[in-house]
Structure 1
Amino acid sequence: MGIRDRLTRLLREAPAAAEAIEHEGAWWTWGDVRATAQAVTDQLDAAGLGAGSRVGVVLENRPEHVAITAAVIASGRCLVTLSPLQPAARLAADIERSDVPVVVAGADALARDGVLGAVTAHGLALELGTDGTVREVGGAAPVAATGPAETEASPVAIEMLTSGTTGPPKRVHLSVAQLDQGLASGGQVPKPDRLLARSASLVATPLVHIGGLWGALACLHTGRRMILMAKFVLEPWVGAVERHRLRAAGLVPAALRTVLDADVPPNRLASLQVVTSGTAPCPAELADAFFRKYGIRVLMTYGATEFAGAVAGWTLSLHEQWWHAKAGSAGRAFPGVTLRVTGADGAEVPQGESGQLEVRTRQTAQGADTWVRTSDLARIDADGFVWIEGRADDAIIRGGFKVAPDTVKRVLETHPGVREAAVAGLPDTRLGAVPVAAVEIEPGQQAPRVADLVALCRAHLTPYEVPAHVLVLDELPRTPSSKVSRVELLDLVRAQLAEKTPA
C-alpha cells in the first residue's frame, strides 16, 4: 500500500480517540486530524480545486499542518510547500513565483507584510486556525484544476524547495512513486496486520525541508505516534526521549554537538539505541565521541530533496560490523538504490577512485533505469561503502586555479580554537572568485586571531588556496536544516569589507 492509499485509509478508519500527534505537551487525536483534513478538503472542493490541483501550504511544525499535508496528498492533490522561515518579503515573492490557486496558512503567516496580498493576487487564501479550523479570508480560486493530472502514471505529490545552502532555493517535484520508494528504501513499512502502532517517533526538523517532511510522512505511513517539535531545543528533546522511551531519534551534526556540549547525563538517553544523522556530513570524530559517551550508535545517511530522502546510509547491523574500519563513510546504498562514480567523461572509474557520484533508483524523477549525476565527489570502496569527498560544484576558480573548499576547511579546523569552518567563493572582478572563510569558536577555547588562521593556511595550502578573508564568529550562519549557509556567509564577508572601505 502506497502513501496515498495509506493516508486515505488512516483518515477514514483510524479510531477517533487514538493519539496521533503530541505538540507542546498536548495530544491531537486521529479525530482531530480527520476533522481538520475534512475541513480543508471541503473548502478545496467548494472552490472547484479537485484531484491534480496544486495547493500551497505555508508549512509550520504544528499538528494542524500535518493534517493538511495528509489531506492534500490523500486526495490526489499536489502539496506546494512554502517556507514560513523566510523573511516576509521572500515568502511573498515565493508565493507569487509558485502561482498556486490557493494557499493555506496560519493567521500569523498571513498577517506578515505583503503575504496575504501575494496570495489573493493569484487565488484563494485559507486561514488555518491552531484549533484545526479552516476559513476563507480573501481572494478567489479558479474553478479549473491546475497542475499535474491524476491520469499520469505517477503524478506529482509534492513540490518543495531545496535547502539553498549554495544559492537561491529551487523547487523540486516529488512524485507519488518517489515517496513510496523512499519510504520503502528507508524501512518505513507499516505492519500488515495493524493500522496504528504504539511506538512513537520524534520530528524536530522543519517540515518544509525533506528531513522533517520525510520524518512526518514516515510516522503517518507506519501509523506511529508523532512527537512534533517546532524546532530542536535541547531540554524538550531530551524530555521527549525520556518520556516516550524512544529507541531511535534523529539529530543533525550541530544538534549532536549540542547534546555533547551540554553533558546530558547518559541515563536520560538510556532508551536510545541509535541516532540517525543527515542533512549535512557528520564528522567521524563527532559520531565516535557520541558513541563513547552514550553507547548510542550514530547512523549517518546520504540523500537529497531530489531523491525524496536518503539513498545511502548506515544501519545498526552495518555499524556493529564495520564502524571501526569504515568510520567517516556515508554508509552503503539502500535497497533499490545503485551507486557508481564517474569521471569527467562520464565513464565509470575503477573501484576506489574518486569522481562524481551517480545514483540510479525509483526515488529520482527520472526513474529506476536512468543514472542521475549528483554534485558530490565521492569514491566507493571494495566493500560497497561510499565516501563523500566534497561537492563538484563547490570548486572555486581563482585566476584559473581550482580551490576545493573542503581542503581549506580541513586545515582551518586543525586549529584548537576552531570548532567548525566554512569556505565559499566570493566573486572577484580580477580573478573570477576568491575563497573566503568563517570559523566558529570552540567553546571553552580562546578565540583564534585572524592572523594566526591565515598563517596556518599559508603553512599547509598553496598560495591560491589561502582565504582572502577570514571571519571569526561565535556561530556560523545556518539554514533552518542546520547546514552552513554559504549565502549568508558571503553576506557577512561583504558587510565586513564594506565597513573597512573608506567612504
Structure 2
Amino acid sequence: MQPGLTERIATVVQLSPPANALEFKGTWYSWKDVSSTMAQLESLLLSAGQKQGAPIGVLLRNRPAHVACVMQLLSSRRCVVSINPFQSPEKVAADIKKLNLPVLVADTDDWAQPAIQQAAAETGAALFQISQQETLSVEAINGHQQPTGQNHHEPLPDTCILMLTSGTTGPAKRIKLPYKSFAISLMGVPGHYSSHNEQDEVALKSTPAVLTTPLVHIGGMYAAMAAITSARPIVILEKFSVDEMRRTLQAYQPKLVALPPTAIRMIYDADVPKEDLSCLLAIRMGSAPMPSDLHESFEAKYGVPLLDSYGATEFAGAVAGWTIQDHRKFGSTKRGSVGRVQPGVEMRIVDPDSGEELSHSTPGLLEVKTSQIGHSDWTRTTDLAEIDEDGFLYIRGRSDDAIIRGGFKIIPADVVTILRKHEAIKYACVVGIPDQRLGAVPVAAIQLQPGFSDINLDDLKLYLREHLTSYQIPVAFKILPEMPRTPSMKISKHDVTQLFLNERAQ
C-alpha cells in the first residue's frame, strides 16, 4: 500500500535525528530539533482538546518553527488553516475574527501586535507562541492554554490545509485541500508518474532544497512539504533577496531551485556573476507570467534553463510544466508556453459558451482532469488558453479579467505586453473599473525602469495608438514606485483596482 502523507512525515523525522533538517539565516536545526518541536505542539493540542480534523490557524511565515508546526499538524491529520501575516495587523485581526478557530499559532513577532492579540482573545481561542532562536520552541500563552469561546469553526477531518489562493484578481479565498489530493500531488501514484512508490526506501538527501516562496502560498507549501516527504533538508529564505540567494547557492550548490519571475528579474538586474549560478541545472518558475524578453536574456546570460509550470491551489500543485528534455528540444520554438501536461493529467480547450472542445491552437477556456483533485470530472478554470499540436499549453489570460468596454472585449494581458515593450516601463498592470456610460474602462498602473524618473503620458498614449486599437488604450495611468504584490510576489490586480477606485471616491 502506498504510504500516506502522515506516515511519510513520521518516517522522515526519525531517519537520522542528529542530521541537519532546516537552515535559517545560517543556523541549522536538526531533525531531532524538529521532532521535539512537533512533540511540544502535539502535547499542547491534546491538552487543548484538539483531535484529528481540528482546524488550527497558523500565521505562516518562512521560518523553521512554522515548518515544524505544519509538519506536526499534517502528521496528526489535523487541518492547517493558513493565515497571511503579510497583511496589516488590522486585516489579520479581521481574518482571525471571521475564522473563529479553536487554536491559533503565531510567531512572537505577530503576537506583539496589539490588534492581533485583541482579536485572538475575543475569539476565545487557545493561543500558542512559536519562536526560533538557539532552539525551536512552541508554548502556550499564559491564560490562553484552552479554548474558551463559542461556536468555533467546525472540524475538517478530510482537509489537510484550508489554503489561501494567491489573491491576484481579488481578495484571497480559502480552498479545502484534501489529504488524499495533497499526498498524490507530493508523492505520486505508485508506478504511474512519480519516482515514489511503495517499494522505495526513503533515505536522507545531502543537498538541501531552497524555500523561496511564502509558505502561505500553495507554491511555498508544496515546495516545503515536497522536500520533507522526499527526506531532503531545506534552506529557508524568509524573504527573497539576491544576497541571501547567492550565499545559499555558494554554500550548498543545489542543482535545482524554484523562483518566481520577480526574483529572476532581481538576479538579472543585480548583474550577479554567471559563476554564482553555475551549480544550477535549471530554475523552475511559476506563479506569474515570465516576460519573453527577460526569459531570453536570462538564459542567454547565464545558460540556465528556465522551466515554467502551470498549476493552481485547487489542483494542489502543478499540472503542467517544462522538463529539461523538452527544453533542449523545444526551448527556442515554444517560447511563452508553460510546458506540457504532466502524466496522470488531461487537459482540453473548450468554447466558453457551448462547452465544445476546440481544435489545436484555438483559444478558449482551459479544462483539467486530474487525480490530484480527488474526482474524475473535468474542472473548468477561468484561464484563457490554447494547446498546440505538440501538446504545449499557452496561457493567454483569464476570462474573468476581460474588460467589456462599450461592447468591445479587452484582454488586459494584450495591453500589458505592449506597455512593457516601452523602454521606460519595467512593470505594468491593466485592470477594468466601472464606467456609467461604457460599462467598464481599462486603467493602467506602471513602474518605471531604473534611470527613468518620469514618463510623458501624452507620448505614451501616442505610442499605444501605434500598437493597439483605440478602445484598448487605458483611460487613466498611475506611476507607482513599486507595484503592490501578493505574498507569492504576483502583482496584485485587486490592490491596483482599489487604488483607482479610492481616487475616484475622493
When normalised by structure 2's length, the TM-score is 0.93
1:281-430 matches, within 5 Å, as 281-343=289-351, 344-364=353-373, 367-430=374-437
The answer to whether the Cα contact below 8 Å between 2:287 and 2:490 also exists between their aligned partners in 1 is yes
Specify the alignment match of 1:268 in structure 2: 276
Write the distance in 1 (CA, Å) between the matches of 2:114 and 2:380. Answer: 40
Deviations 1:182-203 (A, max 9, x none): 2246957489233311121100
Specify the alignment match of 1:457 in structure 2: 464
Overall identity of the aligned pairs, in % = 38
Q: 1:224, CA displacement in angstroms?
A: 0.6
The answer to whether the Cα contact below 8 Å between 2:100 and 2:152 also exists between their aligned partners in 1 is no
Specify the alignment match of 2:488 in structure 1: 481
Q: 1:23, CA displacement in angstroms?
A: 0.2
Matched, 1:177 2:180: yes
Runs of at least 5 residues in structure 1 that lack an aligned partner in the other structure: none
Aligned counterpart in structure 1 of residue 137 of structure 2, from 124, 133, 143: 133
Specify the alignment match of 1:212 in structure 2: 220
Q: 1:368, CA displacement in angstroms?
A: 4.0
The answer to whether the Cα contact below 8 Å between 1:357 and 1:374 also exists between their aligned partners in 2 is yes
Q: 1:278, CA displacement in angstroms?
A: 0.6
Q: 1:352, CA displacement in angstroms?
A: 1.7
Write the distance in 2 (CA, Å) between the matches of 1:136 and 1:9. Answer: 27
Q: 1:415, CA displacement in angstroms?
A: 1.4
The answer to whether the Cα contact below 8 Å between 1:339 and 1:360 also exists between their aligned partners in 2 is yes
Deviations 1:462-493 (A, max 9, x none): 32221110122333221121111112212333
Write the distance in 2 (CA, Å) between the matches of 1:307 and 1:97. Answer: 26
- More displaced stretch, 277-286 vs 453-462: 453-462
Q: 1:242, CA displacement in angstroms?
A: 1.2
The answer to whether the Cα contact below 8 Å between 2:260 and 2:288 also exists between their aligned partners in 1 is yes
Q: 1:303, CA displacement in angstroms?
A: 0.8
Specify the alignment match of 1:221 in structure 2: 229
- Equivalent residue of 2:471, what SS? helix
Matched, 1:14 2:23: no
Q: Which amino acid aligns with 2:66?
A: H
Q: Which amino acid aligns with 1:92?
A: A
Matched, 1:199 2:231: no
Write the distance in 2 (CA, Å) between the matches of 1:263 and 1:457. Answer: 31
Specify the alignment match of 1:24 in structure 2: 25
Deviations 1:446-468 (A, max 9, x none): 64311112222233323222111
Q: 1:258, CA displacement in angstroms?
A: 1.0
Write the distance in 1 (CA, Å) between the matches of 2:241 and 2:60. Answer: 19
Write the distance in 1 (CA, Å) between the matches of 2:32 and 2:96. Answer: 31
Specify the alignment match of 1:85 in structure 2: 86
Runs of at least 5 residues in structure 2 that lack an aligned partner in the other structure: none
Q: 1:494, CA displacement in angstroms?
A: 4.2
Write the distance in 2 (CA, Å) between the matches of 1:429 and 1:189. Answer: 57
Deviations 1:429-457 (A, max 9, x none): 33322110012212345643111122222
Root mean square deviation of aligned Cα: 2.0
Matched, 1:75 2:65: no
Write the distance in 2 (CA, Å) between the matches of 1:294 and 1:461. Answer: 34
- More displaced stretch, 429-438 vs 16-25: 429-438
When normalised by structure 1's length, the TM-score is 0.93
Q: Which amino acid aligns with 2:51?
A: G
The answer to whether the Cα contact below 8 Å between 2:187 and 2:229 also exists between their aligned partners in 1 is no
- Equivalent residue of 2:16, what SS? coil
Matched, 1:252 2:260: yes
- Equivalent residue of 1:43, what SS? helix
